[in-house]
């Protein structure tokens, strides 16, 4: 579907010359981006590229219905720019990030504060949005939490039990991932990509590999693409199963909680069967996959998969059958489809608001061009819907794996990677288990990575959790939080 | 499905907790490889192939000295194992690799080919913590894999609770701190405050390559390359992430709870 747009269109997992990215004066660029967002398109990535002392802005839009991506850039400028956020909430964190990373000020940004950097005493120290009134009290949680969880700070404004507003302050996990890639790829880069969010190793490593392959003008061998798709669904199965268990645990429904804790491990062990590591480290590399599965290994995988799927089916049946679970899940942490679209929500959380968006379907790359996974949607936008979408996806990932493991493509899994094309831009999206993983790579004249922008699905989705909490009892926070289960380090980079 | 079915199903499944450490340890995945073993004596005089492939600069070959591999910096990518022409670096398939002293992770020299496994706590601490160890976990820029595989120990298959080891929700209730991640500058204050909030005597465990030395992010200015520069560490558990079995082995080793299973090996 072609339609009139000033942006240059490109397909997921491809590259184009930096010179072919249309360039406009700043005001026109922002107008163009705003116009597309106004039409309901999605902002996949929005970032700065330094040029001397000045800066250019680059926008990557996803035209989901048109199955295409669109890129454009501004001419270089310095000082400030009128914030898109004032009219388009999707740009909210991106513009804060641009300000933090490059020092240009998004004017009239309604909530301009750091995203992740330490400004003296730690990232959470600063002004929080405050609700005033005699009945109002404030609750502060974190950065260190009560369980084995990554750190983040949550600031609630409450009237009694009711949360009026939640502000989420992150940045505690900042490891300097993007900065370190500049001038690369370096020897450690691929290992860092595998640990951008350690529970999404396959998702991020695949996006990185796709981006580099696009820049090198090559594709991974088919069997490697197939293997990546297998590993991606195993990653989804493990995490979704873990999430169902955690949600059950949070409403004190122990049969499913304890069963899923174990089954999650069984899925992780299937990944370990492929590559030795439960999180998929060492499997995906630019150029292909480092390891292969022989017939014996794959049939073992197929067999153990069946057992784990049968067990998770059983554990889920208990969950859906329990009235006590339903009453706790239904109407809790509700998010409207309209809000979800406005903030650019992605992944299962978006699909649980009835939004039909899934990179595997809208922007298929790799093996997903040949084998589709149906999009799982549930309309209600509450904890129940988010749990339900996970369960639908578990079943569909299971079906996908069964089908794929019965029709193994032949061939190599690794090819050598040619040099990266200089002055080129590549975009790679992958539907990780939390949603859209977006990597944008830009090379300089020397063919080295000049700018590398990573957007974990959590970057879009934390705002969704904050909105879902409005009007909820504060005691429902853990349940709502688990129903999103977002990444801290993927956000903090 | 009725409650009756749920209970029946649960009964049929029986006890799903592994026999280890009373019984044998479950096998590591065959492609895992376990701890590395380095026999520097086997090295070719002029070779430094492993040094150039290691992503975390875990291997050094100082002039005139034998090759030294620091398992604390290692993220177990096995690149060095693949390139070593004389098989001086090999995988042992052994899940045990927790140590008490940082230098016990440096491998290569004669007599130091493998990790020098952790000794138990002294008797006084063992009496205090041996049958009940409460830990506070602080993730300080961990990638959530070390965290996840620590969490796994609480599931029915591993059941950490049977050893009296438990993760608690307040540092005031804790006997020790389990740290993951390279300790980002942004978590420095929170980590220190947590440590101070622990009543004495207290122990500290650094879990995973990041917490020991910085892991895949080693050398980045945004963090501290591990916990030992900020708090005294009593137990180092290598891995990226360590397999749950490696973590459990480390904890039980510290508490001297492995008993016969260790002697059997
Ligand atoms: S296995 Fe460890 S020591 Fe060897 S190359 Fe990889 S990180 Fe370096
Ligand atoms: S050691 Fe590896 S698995 Fe553990 S937190 Fe660091 S990067 Fe993640």
pLDDT for the residue B11: 84
At A9-48, the pLDDT tens digits run: 999 999 999 999 999 999 999 999 999 999 999 999 999 9
**Among A151, A169, A187, where does a domain finish?**
A169
Beta strands A435-443; A449-455: pairing state = antiparallel
A280: phi then psi, degrees, rounded to nearest 5? 85, 20
- Is pLDDT of A366 > 90? yes
Are both A247 and A365 inside the same structural domain?
yes
Phi-psi region of A424 (alpha: psi -120 to 50; beta: other; left: phi over 0): beta
Residue nearest to atom 8 of ligand 1 (CA): B54
Cross-strand pairs, A141: A154
Cross-strand pairs, A162: A159, A473
pLDDT for the residue A412: 93
- Is A267 in CB contact (< 8 Å) with chain B? no
CATH number of the domain within which A393 lies: 1.10.645.10
Residues of B in contact with A152 (CB under 8 A): none
pLDDT for the residue B13: 80
Spatial contact of B67 and B61, defined as CB atoms under 8 Å apart: yes
Candidate from B31, B34, B56, B88 with most ligand 1 atoms within 8 A of CB, to mutate: B56
At A219-239, the pLDDT tens digits run: 999 999 999 999 999 999 999
Task: Check CB contact under 8 Å for B150 and A148.
Answer: yes
Nearest to B217 among A116, A175, A487 (CB): A175
CA–CA distance, A389 with A37 (Å, rounded to integer):
26
Are both A82 and A199 inside the same structural domain?
no
A227: phi then psi, degrees, rounded to nearest 5? -60, -40
At A159-192, the pLDDT tens digits run: 999 999 999 999 999 999 999 999 989 999 999 9
CA–CA distance, B214 with A189 (Å, rounded to integer):
14
- Is A164 in CB contact (< 8 Å) with chain B? no
Specify the 3-state DSSP secondary structure of A138.
strand
**Dihedral of the alpha carbons of A81, A84, A89, A93, in degrees to the nearest 10:** -30
Does the beta carbon of B183 lie inside 6 Å of ligand 2? Answer: no
Ligand 2: centre distance to CA B66 (Å): 28
Could you say which residues from 367 to 426 on chain A have a Cβ atom under 8 Å away from some Cβ of chain B?
none
Nearest to A173 among B33, B184, B189 (CB): B184
Choose, out of A177, A198, A239, A487, the residue to mutate when testing the contact with B (most B CBs < 10 Å). A198
Choose, out of B73, B148, B243, the residue to mutate when testing the contact with A (most A CBs < 10 Å). B148
Query: Measured in Å, how far apart are chain B's first and last C-alpha atoms?
Result: 46
CA atoms within 13 A on the CB side of A445: 0
Q: Which of A346, A192, A433, A389 is nearest to B223 (CA)?
A: A192
Are both A325 and A208 inside the same structural domain?
yes
Are both A98 and A224 inside the same structural domain?
no
The pLDDT confidence band at residue A118, using thresholds 50, 70 and 90, is: low
CA–CA distance, B97 with B76 (Å, rounded to integer):
12
CA–CA distance, A135 with A294 (Å, rounded to integer):
66
A49: phi then psi, degrees, rounded to nearest 5? -125, 110
At B150-198, the pLDDT tens digits run: 999 999 999 999 999 999 999 999 999 999 999 999 999 999 999 999 9
How many other CB atoms are found less than 10 A from the CB of residue B75? 27
Spatial contact of B174 and B135, defined as CB atoms under 8 Å apart: yes
Spatial contact of A278 and A268, defined as CB atoms under 8 Å apart: yes
- ipTM comes to 0.93
Cα→Cα distances A339→A10, A336, B187, B189, Å = 28, 5, 32, 36
Q: A98: which residues sit within 8 A by CB, 6+ positions away?
A: A46, A47, A48, A57, A104, A106
Ligand 1: centre distance to CA B56 (Å): 7
- Is B32 in CB contact (< 8 Å) with chain A? yes
pLDDT for the residue A226: 96
Ligand 2: centre distance to CA B145 (Å): 6
Spatial contact of A207 and A152, defined as CB atoms under 8 Å apart: no
Residues of B in contact with A489 (CB under 8 A): 141-144
Does the beta carbon of B208 lie inside 6 Å of ligand 2? Answer: yes
Q: Which of B45, B79, B47, B51 is nearest to B64 (CA)?
A: B45
Q: A130: which residues sit within 8 A by CB, 6+ positions away?
A: A138, A157
Choose, out of B49, B216, B217, the residue to mutate when testing the contact with A (most A CBs < 10 Å). B216
Task: Check CB contact under 8 Å for A318 and B141.
Answer: no
> Which ligand 1 atom is the nearest neighbour of the CA of B77?
6
Name all residues whose Cβ lies below 6 A of ligand 1: B 53-56, 58-59, 69, 74-80
Mean pLDDT within A257-261: 93
Could you say which residues from 119 to 158 on chain A have a Cβ atom under 8 Å away from some Cβ of chain B?
121-123, 143-144, 146-151
- Is pLDDT of A121 > 60? no
Q: What residues of chain B score a pLDDT lower than 50?
A: 264
Cross-strand pairs, B134: B166
**Dihedral of the alpha carbons of B237, B243, B244, B248, in degrees to the nearest 10:** -40
Query: Is residue A262 a part of any domain in this protein?
Result: yes
Q: Which domain holds residue A411?
A: 195-430
pLDDT for the residue A123: 67
CATH number of B123-254: 3.40.50.12280
CA–CA distance, A141 with A84 (Å, rounded to integer):
31
Beta strands B106-107; B68-70: pairing state = antiparallel
Express as a percent the part of chain A with pLDDT over 70: 98
pLDDT for the residue A430: 97
Does the beta carbon of B26 lie inside 6 Å of ligand 2? Answer: no
Residue ranges covered by each domain of chain B: 123-254
Q: Which of A442, A490, A341 is nearest to A40 (CA)?
A: A341
Total domain count for chain A?
3
CA–CA distance, A343 with A44 (Å, rounded to integer):
11
Are both A95 and A231 inside the same structural domain?
no
Query: Is residue A15 a part of any domain in this protein?
Result: yes
Candidate from B143, B217, B222 with most ligand 2 atoms within 8 A of CB, to mutate: B143
Are both A147 and A293 inside the same structural domain?
no
Query: Is residue A441 a part of any domain in this protein?
Result: no
């Amino acid at each position: 579907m072609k339609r009139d747009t000033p942006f240059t269109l490109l397909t997921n997992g491809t590259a184009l010359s930096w010179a072919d990215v249309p360039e406009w004066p700043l005001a026109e660029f922002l107008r163009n981006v705003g116009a597309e967002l106004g039409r309901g398109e999605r902002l996949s990535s929005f970032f700065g590229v330094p040029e001397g002392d000045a800066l250019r802005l680059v926008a990557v839009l996803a035209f989901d219905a048109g199955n295409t991506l669109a890129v454009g850039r501004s001419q270089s400028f310095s000082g400030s720019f009128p914030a898109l956020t004032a009219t388009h909430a999707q740009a909210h964190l991106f513009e804060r990030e641009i300000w933090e990373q490059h020092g240009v000020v998004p004017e009239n940004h309604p909530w301009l504060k750091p995203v992740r950097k330490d400004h003296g005493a730690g990232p959470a120290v600063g002004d929080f949005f405050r609700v005033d009134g005699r009945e109002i009290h404030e609750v502060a949680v974190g950065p260190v939490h009560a369980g084995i969880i990554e750190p983040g700070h949550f600031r609630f404004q409450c009237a009694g039990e009711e949360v009026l507003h939640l502000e989420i302050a992150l940045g505690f996990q900042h490891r300097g991932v993007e900065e370190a890639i500049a001038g690369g790829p370096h020897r450690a880069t691929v290992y860092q990509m595998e640990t951008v969010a350690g529970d999404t190793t396959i998702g991020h490593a695949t996006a990185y590999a796709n981006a580099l392959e696009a820049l090198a003008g090559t594709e991974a061998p088919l069997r490697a693409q197939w293997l990546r798709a297998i590993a991606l669904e195993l990653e989804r199965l493990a995490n979704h199963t873990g999430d169902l268990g955690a949600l059950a645990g949070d409403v004190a429904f122990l049969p499913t909680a304890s069963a899923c804790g174990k089954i999650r491990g069984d899925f992780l062990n299937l990944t370990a069967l492929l590559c030795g590591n439960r999180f998929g480290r060492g499997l995906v590399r630019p150029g292909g996959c480092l390891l292969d599965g022989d017939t014996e290994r794959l049939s073992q995988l197929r067999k153990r998969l069946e057992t784990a799927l049968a067990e998770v089916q059983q554990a889920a049946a208990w969950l859906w059958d329990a009235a006590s679970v339903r009453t706790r899940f239904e109407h809790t942490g509700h998010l409207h489809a309209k809000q979800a679209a406005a903030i650019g929500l992605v992944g299962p959380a978006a699909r649980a608001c009835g939004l039909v968006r899934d990179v595997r379907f809208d922007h298929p790359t790799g093996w997903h061009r040949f084998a589709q996974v149906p999009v799982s949607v549930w309309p209600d936008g509450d904890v129940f819907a988010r749990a339900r979408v996970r369960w639908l996806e578990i079943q569909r990932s299971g079906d996908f794996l069964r089908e794929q493991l019965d029709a193994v493509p032949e061939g190599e899994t690794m090819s050598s990677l040619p040099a990266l094309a200089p002055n080129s831009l590549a975009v790679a999206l992958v539907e990780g288990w939390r949603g859209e993983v977006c990597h944008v790579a830009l090379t300089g004249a020397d063919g080295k990575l000049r700018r590398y922008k990573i957007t974990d699905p959590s970057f879009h989705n934390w705002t969704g959790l904050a909105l879902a909490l409005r009007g909820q009892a504060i005691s429902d926070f853990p349940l709502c939080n688990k129903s999103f289960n977002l990444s801290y380090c993927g956000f903090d980079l | 499905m009725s409650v009756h079915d749920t209970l029946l199903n649960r009964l049929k499944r029986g006890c799903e907790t592994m026999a280890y450490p009373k019984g044998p340890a479950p096998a590591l995945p065959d492609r895992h490889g376990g701890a590395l073993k380095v026999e520097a004596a086997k090295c070719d005089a002029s070779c430094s192939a492993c040094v150039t492939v290691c992503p975390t600069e875990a291997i050094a070959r100082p002039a005139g000295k034998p090759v030294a591999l620091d398992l604390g910096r290692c993220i177990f990518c096995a690149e060095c194992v693949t390139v070593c022409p004389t098989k001086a670096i090999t995988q042992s398939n052994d899940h045990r690799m927790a140590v008490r002293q940082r230098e016990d992770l440096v491998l290569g020299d004669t007599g130091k080919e493998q990790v020098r496994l952790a000794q138990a706590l002294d008797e006084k601490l063992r009496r205090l913590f041996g049958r009940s160890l409460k830990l506070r976990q602080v993730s300080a820029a961990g990638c959530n894999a070390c965290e996840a595989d620590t969490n796994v120990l609480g599931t029915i298959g591993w059941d950490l609770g049977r050893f009296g080891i438990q993760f608690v929700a307040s540092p005031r209730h804790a006997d020790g701190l389990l740290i993951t991640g390279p300790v980002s500058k942004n978590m420095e204050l929170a980590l220190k405050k947590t440590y101070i909030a622990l009543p004495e005597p207290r122990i500290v465990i650094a879990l995973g390559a990041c917490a020991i030395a910085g892991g895949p992010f080693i050398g980045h200015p945004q963090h501290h390359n591990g916990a030992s520069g900020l708090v005294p560490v009593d137990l180092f558990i290598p891995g990226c992430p360590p397999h749950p079995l490696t973590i459990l082995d480390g904890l039980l080793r510290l508490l001297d709870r492995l008993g016969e299973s260790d002697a059997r090996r």
